[in-house]
Amino acid sequence: MEGSYWDLVLLVMEVWLFVVLGLIVLPAMFGVSLGFTDLYIKVLVKILEVNNTLIQTSRIIERNDDSMEEQIVELRRSHPKFHSVGDFTLCDAFYFCKKGIESIVDDEVTQRFTSEELVSWNLLTRTNINFHYISVRVTIIWGLGLFIRYCILLPLRVTLAAIGLSWLVIGTTLVGLLPNSNVKNWLSDVIHMTCYRICARGLSARIRYHSKENRPKKGGICVANHTSPIDIVILANDGCYAMVGQIHGGLMGVIQRSMVRSCPHVWFERSEMKDRHAVAKRLKDHIADKSKQPILIFPEGTCINNTSVMMFKKGSFEIGGTIYPVAIKYDPQFGDAFWNSGKYNMVSYLLRMMTSWAIVCNVWYLPPMSIQDGEDAVHFANRVKSAIALQGGLMDLSWDGGLKREKVKQSFKEEQQKMYSSMIVGQD
């Protein structure tokens, strides 16, 4: 009896290794798709459509889309002297107070730092955990989805992530021992792309790349809108980049040190990051060498929730070189890629990613852009930002993404006060 038990365990492990290595890892290493992800996405779309039909039939979700007049009339019904139209009543002020408070709470800046709202429930608890109580059929679908995501997809994805990161550390460390040559550069590119492809398969990523003829070239700077830390994985599946960032400790530090041995990534010490001239010099030296991979930079400086593009820091546009804009847009129906760093730490965020249905996104390579005569870095950055927003179907905002962690600058408040005072006294 005991022998049969261990035989069964051994059989399960053999099947698991065959699935992971034979059907996922090896095809990913060679950039080959067996079609499992596409089939999985198609089935998932059908399931979500059925689920949304059940929810709509139960008439649980209702939105108040009445006009201003209709809402004010409803509010006046509680007034002793009811007036449907005309005449001012003091209770009208409550409507405007309500709208004013809603605008303050849900303004165009702070709402960019929270997960975007979905039109329909995607069976993930982030939208509304109470939706699975609507009906027995919805509850069954939700329960099966929970089992699949946590008991099948999560172990598989953790295994693939461990394989991908281990391959990155071991491979780049070994390649780093070789002398500088074209062979070393080629091996480094192969290892990096293989690692990112395995990690992408671990997220059930389905990525569509558009206008590949505009892909960033060596000696250039790739700038993209920033939604998630996995933006790097998404872009590096289709090409190699030199990363820019601050040196970390722990596991992240181990990965950074191994990566820089085989590829000239640009890592900065914390004290050096504060010296803009030192940062600019190292970046200029990098792009001056046309044999080095293009630098990947996210000029927003923080993650935005996949609905907008916020102010680009001008530093990336002051160092010269050709800018290769890239627009990234995720499909929130299958998973929320946005990292709200103020609410979730990295471990919690990765757990959410690995228990989502999939990561589906589009990547657009825009034509390269250069600074024009008489154009300063700020206007150049805004021009690139507008191009990315237009291509990705994102809202183009001029606000600084630093407001995610900082208070509004005093100069902004004073500007509004001056505008209001000028209006009061009748000055232009």
Report pLDDT digits (tens) over 109-145: 667 767 776 766 777 764 455 555 567 777 788 888 8
Record the pTM: 0.77
Q: Is the residue at 370 inside a domain?
A: yes
Environment class of 413 (CB within 10 Å of its CB; exposed 0-12, middle 13-18, buried 19+): exposed
Q: Is the residue at 3 inside a domain?
A: no
Please give the pLDDT value at position 93.
Answer: 65
Report the share of the chain in percent with pLDDT over 70: 74
Q: Is the residue at 129 inside a domain?
A: no
Q: Is the residue at 10 inside a domain?
A: no
Encoded tokens for 311:
């102010």
Confidence of residue 392 (pLDDT cuts 50, 70, 90): very high
Q: Give the residue numbers spanning the domain of 195.
A: 138-414
Confidence of residue 427 (pLDDT cuts 50, 70, 90): low
Contacts (Cβ under 8 Å, ≥6 apart) of 127: 118, 121
Q: Is the residue at 177 inside a domain?
A: yes
Confidence of residue 81 (pLDDT cuts 50, 70, 90): low
Encoded tokens for 210:
């558009």
Confidence of residue 60 (pLDDT cuts 50, 70, 90): very low
Closest CA to 227 of 152, 281, 306, 280: 306
> In which residue are the tokens 């044999």 written?
291
pLDDT digits 0-9 by tens, 337-373: 888 877 888 888 888 889 889 999 999 999 999 988 8
Q: Is the residue at 274 inside a domain?
A: yes
pLDDT digits 0-9 by tens, 274-314: 667 777 888 888 888 888 889 999 998 888 888 899 989 88
Q: Which helix (H) or strand (E) holds 17?
A: helix 2-17
Confidence of residue 213 (pLDDT cuts 50, 70, 90): very high
More confident call, 419 vs 13: 13
Contacts (Cβ under 8 Å, ≥6 apart) of 289: 219
More confident call, 112 vs 165: 165
Choose from 98-102, 131-135, 151-155, 212-216 the range with maximum mean pLDDT: 212-216
Q: Is the residue at 37 inside a domain?
A: no
Please give the pLDDT value at position 413.
Answer: 64
Q: How many domains does the chain have?
A: 1
Q: Is the residue at 352 inside a domain?
A: yes
Contacts (Cβ under 8 Å, ≥6 apart) of 104: none
Please give the pLDDT value at position 423.
Answer: 47
pLDDT above 60: residue 406: yes
Instruction: Measure the CA dihedral 397/401/404/406, to 10°.
Output: -120
Question: Is 108:397 a contact under the CB 8 Å cutoff?
Answer: yes
Residues 348, 345: Cα–Cα separation, whole Å: 5
